[in-house]
Amino acid sequence: MIIEPRMRGFICLTAHPKGAEQNVKNQIEYVKSKGKIEGAKKVLVIGASTGFGLASRITSAFGSDASTIGVFFEKPPVEGKTASPGWYNSAAFETEAHKAGLYAKSINGDAFSNEVKRETLDLIKKDLGQVDLVIYSLASPVRTNPNTGVTHRSVLKPIGDVYTNKTVDFHTGKVSEISIEPSKEDDIENTVAVMGGEDWAMWIDALKAENLLASGATTVAYSYIGPSLTEPVYRKGTIGRAKDHLEATAFSITDSLKDIDGKAYVSVNKALVTQASSAIPVIPLYISLLYKIMKEEGVHEGTIEQIQRLYQDRLFSGSEVATDEKGRIRIDDWEMRDDIQEKVAQLWTKATTENLAEIGDLEGYRKDFYNLFGFDVAGVDYKSEADEMVQVESLK
């Protein structure tokens, strides 16, 4: 069928398999162009189908010839209805990995559940024996805790006071003021339950209990900090409490891995256009100004550039892993450069509906957003029929 983007609010209901395939191929080419990384050889990626997790899977496979198992939660296609983007990304990834002679298998289901953990442990046991790197890259609005059966929903709210600032509707380019009500009762607790470190620790405990972590194994989860501008709604808001918890969990996991000489890290990554970040008020305006400045300075990166640099210059550089005073890896270093943040802050006060297309990178924002769904990708013929029924090889 001919597949076109169909928008509803901030989400796109369709995805293009050819565009997704081209995106994955571009990421693979980028990793190959940067040369080999002396990294882990058996890798589990939890949240492997889009964003930073997909980039991690690609960097492990095509930078270090790693065998990868990817866990994700995506919608397969049905006749006449496209799959979710991560499904097509994973189909393309497996096809390319298999062509290159690399082991790649996937598990599609709820990573928070005991069942998906069980299935993953069994697959590792059967095919890989052990893993030496576990990337934890889930982004979800909801989690059912398998021990209590309670379903928690995360919220993106400030804590204490109403937060008022500018935001942009990136579809129309309209800049307006938005006020966000502060969190209530158990909003913080619920957000921490979804996006904090509890499930990460459960995964690592389960792997370790069955001797599936190799000696010296590393695990990495991703976090964000950002500028003071977005602090009330991000780092000092409900999601920030979850990130505090995730970061604290890295230390308790490292303690639990002492006997196998394992280590847990949190890597603080750059702000990027993803399905999740598009839904946070204020952030899209910040990102469109940030992109403009970072492109001008020649230091703009997407997910693949971020993760390739994380692997090559931090995790597997051959020297000790550099961290900040709180033990975190910082790959947001270019975003947070003083000169870049000063310029963004100046533009922020000026930004209006009339001038944003000029002083900000609204076009770049939109392009990245459409690219997430496989649209607006160079080299793809969108006027031709595309087969929506593309399958992930290992899930056939």
Residues identified as active-site: 234
DSSP 200: H
One residue of 14, 95, 218, 275 binding ligand NAD per CB under 6 A: 275
Closest to 162 (Cα-Cα) out of 176, 146, 182, 148: 182
Contact positions with ligand NAD (CB under 6 A) in 299-358: none
Please tell me the number of Cα atoms within 13 Å of 299 on its side-chain side: 14
82 close to 383: Cβ distance less than 8 angstroms: no
332-336, long-range: CB within 8 Å, 24+ apart, which pairs?
332/224, 332/225, 332/226, 332/268, 332/269, 332/270, 332/271, 334/270, 334/294, 334/299, 334/301, 335/226, 335/270, 335/271, 335/290, 335/294, 336/225, 336/227
48 binds, among Na ion, ligand NAD, none (CB under 5 to 8 A by kind): ligand NAD
- Phi, psi (rounded to 5 degrees) for 199: -70, -35
DSSP 81: B
Residue 100 assigned ligand-binding role: no
Cβ-based nearer residue to Na ion, 137 or 230:
137
Write the single-letter amino acid at 254. T
Closest approach of ligand NAD to the CB of residue 368, in Å? 11
Choose one: 27-35, 57-65, 268-276, 344-352; the region binding ligand NAD (CB under 6 A): 268-276
Q: Is 138 in the site for ligand NAD (CB under 6 A)?
A: yes
DSSP 221: E
276 binds, among Na ion, ligand NAD, none (CB under 5 to 8 A by kind): ligand NAD
Cβ-based nearer residue to ligand NAD, 21 or 74:
74
Closest approach of ligand NAD to the CB of residue 136, in Å? 8
49 binds, among Na ion, ligand NAD, none (CB under 5 to 8 A by kind): ligand NAD
73 binds, among Na ion, ligand NAD, none (CB under 5 to 8 A by kind): ligand NAD
Q: Is 47 in the site for Na ion (CB under 5 A)?
A: yes
Q: Is 394 in the site for ligand NAD (CB under 6 A)?
A: no
Residues belonging to the chain: 396
315 close to 220: Cβ distance less than 8 angstroms: yes
How does strand 151-153 pair with strand 163-169? unpaired
311 binds, among ligand NAD, Na ion, none (CB under 5 to 8 A by kind): none
CA dist., res. 391 & res. 396, Å (int): 6
373 binds, among Na ion, ligand NAD, none (CB under 5 to 8 A by kind): none
CA-CA distances (angstroms) from residue 111 to 72, 74, 76? Answer: 7, 11, 17
Task: Spell out the residues 6+ positions from residue 352 whose beta carbon is closer than 8 angstroms to its own.
Answer: 175
Closest approach of Na ion to the CB of residue 180, in Å? 25
Choose one: 53-61, 213-221, 338-346, 354-362; the region binding Na ion (CB under 5 A): 53-61
93 binds, among ligand NAD, Na ion, none (CB under 5 to 8 A by kind): none
Closest to 321 (Cα-Cα) out of 227, 209, 218, 194: 218
The residue of the chain with the least Cβ separation from Na ion equals 53
Task: Spell out the residues 6+ positions from residue 184 whose beta carbon is closer than 8 angstroms to its own.
Answer: none
Contact positions with ligand NAD (CB under 6 A) in 61-90: 71-74, 86
Residue 68 assigned ligand-binding role: no
One residue of 39, 47, 227, 237 binding ligand NAD per CB under 6 A: 47
Q: Is 111 in the site for ligand NAD (CB under 6 A)?
A: yes
Alpha helices in 34-104 (DSSP H): 51-64, 85-99
Cβ-based nearer residue to ligand NAD, 142 or 162:
142
Contact positions with Na ion (CB under 5 A) in 85-144: 137
The residue of the chain with the least Cβ separation from ligand NAD equals 51
What are residue 136's DSSP bridge partners?
Answer: 46, 221
Cβ-based nearer residue to ligand NAD, 157 or 214:
157
In the annotated binding site for substrate, the residues are 224
Q: Which residues bind ligand NAD (CB under 6 A)?
A: 47-53, 71-74, 86, 110-112, 137-140, 222-224, 269, 271-272, 274-277
Residues that bind Na ion (CB under 5 A): 47, 51-53, 137
